[in-house]
Amino acid sequence: MNKLQFHYFHLMPWPYLPADYDQKYDSAWVTLPNSIYDPIKGHALYNRYLDEIERADKLGWDSVIVNEHHQNAYGTMPSPNIMAAVLTQRIKRAKIGIVGNALPLHDDPLRVAEEIAMLDVISGGRIISGFVRGTGMEYFSYSVNPTISRERMDEAHDLIIQAWTRPGPFAFEGEHYNYRYVNIWPRPIQQPHPPIWLPGTASTETIDFAAGHKYPYMTVFMPMDQRKRAYDMYRRLAEEKYGYEAQPEQLAFCVPCVVAESDDIAMKEGEKYVMWLFNKALKVRPEFFVPPGYMSVRSLRGMLESGTYGRKASFKELVDTGVVIAGSVDTVVEKLAYLTDELHAGMLVTGGHVGEIPDYLVLKNQTMMAEEVMPHFREKPVRAEPKPVEIQPV
């Protein structure tokens, strides 16, 4: 079995949606009234989530990951860098991923370069820096023009990489970002810079960008056949367009994993809690999901013609199509092995917390993953042959 890295991803959702949520609200994003958020409960929740992440570190997960989302119940981390700063003080072994900062949403990406550099220095070089465009919904929430999203993404990326790697001061002259003095203090520890990840939903443009820069590309919540197509495209672009062979560490997959004592129990627990993610937290008006100009016409045509957008799926269908992995240890190992051995992917990104899942189930999930699933994908330690102890003469 090929090797697999295990990354513990937390969305920090707001699970306490009102009983009439399904009838009364058409979106968990942009317009869901923030009176639903209770800061007192939020205080307890943030700290509970941080405890969960700390356990993942102690259980041996390779990294812990946070991300950026705005004005929604799906994920309550508008500033992932603040959360990462907290984690530098709690997490002393694992890497700390921010996957990612939504670059085009910010008018000043130099600030992102500075903050990631700070975090890298504070954490002793343990930062993974994801870059994302942000969801379509966030272009409404932040009033950022979606028609220039990709241009701002590309340009902010170039600025940040240069800020980390070029001796300052220098001028950055872009179409959307223009700085006379780029000269960040501090600079990151990791050289040439912290690793960059790019999550995506299989748009050709993002896969090409990731392959071109040799950045890990992370497929998010998508059926296995779509993941396969995305990885095939990445590998083909790497080989034919950019002249190298893509490595497993460049192909990541973000997938909810439910592991339990048996397939039956996993299906029941998954259905009860993971469906919250798809039915409630990802409930979005289509107009928010794809604002004008956010996607290329080609990518949008692909999405519309596939007929998958907006289709309601049962938990069983999600499991059958590979959007979710659920089962006993053997089942989960077998499914992950398909990803590592058939799709050549080498990084699993998953978390245990969705909706109102009780803490004991989060603990069970993260522990079973770490203790019973993970070892199948680790290099076996080389055992030394027993031999008599030689006693050296004094």
Partner 1 sequence: MSDVVTPIEKNERTVNVQGIATHIFEAGSPVAPPLLYLHGTNLGNLWLDYHRALAQYFHLFAPDIPGFGLTERPDWMRDMSDYILFFRDLLNELGLDKVMLVGHSIGGWMAAEIAVWYPERVKKLVLSNAAGIRVKGSSIADIFAMNAQELIAACFDNPMAAMPLMPAEFNVDFLLVQYKERTTLASLAWNPSYDPKLERRLASIKCPTLVIWGANDRVIPPVYGDTFHRQIANSRLVKLEGTGHMPMFEKHEEWARSICEFLEQGKD
- Return residues touching partner 1 (CB under 8 A): 30, 139-140, 143-148, 285-288, 290-293, 297, 300-301, 304-305
Task: Provide the minimum distance between the beta carbon of 134 and partner 1 in the complex, in angstroms, as a whole number.
Answer: 14
The CA distance from 89 to 59, in Å, is 17
Residue 161: both structure tokens together: 């990489």
Sign of CA dihedral 200, 206, 210, 211: positive
Task: Provide the minimum distance between the beta carbon of 287 and partner 1 in the complex, in angstroms, as a whole number.
Answer: 5
| Upstream peptide bond of 192 is cis (omega within 30 degrees of 0) | yes
Task: Provide the minimum distance between the beta carbon of 295 and partner 1 in the complex, in angstroms, as a whole number.
Answer: 8
The CA distance from 300 to 205, in Å, is 12
Task: Provide the minimum distance between the beta carbon of 292 and partner 1 in the complex, in angstroms, as a whole number.
Answer: 4
Q: 300 vs 363, which CB is nearer to partner 1?
A: 300
Task: Provide the minimum distance between the beta carbon of 153 and partner 1 in the complex, in angstroms, as a whole number.
Answer: 16
Task: Provide the minimum distance between the beta carbon of 201 and partner 1 in the complex, in angstroms, as a whole number.
Answer: 17
Q: Tabulate helix, strand, coil % of the chain (nearest 5).
A: 45, 15, 40
Q: 148 vs 313, which CB is nearer to partner 1?
A: 148
Q: 21 vs 142, which CB is nearer to partner 1?
A: 142
Helical H runs in the chain? 21-24, 39-59, 80-90, 109-122, 136-141, 149-165, 204-213, 224-236, 263-276, 286-289, 297-306, 315-321, 329-337, 359-368
Q: 140 vs 217, which CB is nearer to partner 1?
A: 140
Q: 99 vs 144, which CB is nearer to partner 1?
A: 144
- Which amino acid would we find at residue 55? R
Long-range contacts of 305-308 (CB under 8 A, 24+ apart): 308/223
Q: 14 vs 288, which CB is nearer to partner 1?
A: 288
Q: 236 vs 301, which CB is nearer to partner 1?
A: 301
Q: 287 vs 317, which CB is nearer to partner 1?
A: 287
- The residue behind tokens 């996993």 is 266
Q: 3 vs 298, which CB is nearer to partner 1?
A: 298
By CB neighbour count within 10 A (0-12 exposed, 13-18 middle, 19+ buried), where does 345 fall?
Answer: buried
Helical H runs in 249-311? 263-276, 286-289, 297-306
Q: 34 vs 143, which CB is nearer to partner 1?
A: 143
Helical H runs in 1-78? 21-24, 39-59
Task: Provide the minimum distance between the beta carbon of 213 and partner 1 in the complex, in angstroms, as a whole number.
Answer: 24
Task: Provide the minimum distance between the beta carbon of 168 and partner 1 in the complex, in angstroms, as a whole number.
Answer: 31
Contact 282, 32 (CB under 8 A): no
The CA distance from 161 to 167, in Å, is 11
The CA distance from 23 to 37, in Å, is 18
Dihedral pair phi/psi, residue 313, rounded to 5°: -120, 145
For residue 294, give Cα distances in angstroms to 104, 138, 146, 160, 332. 11, 11, 5, 22, 35
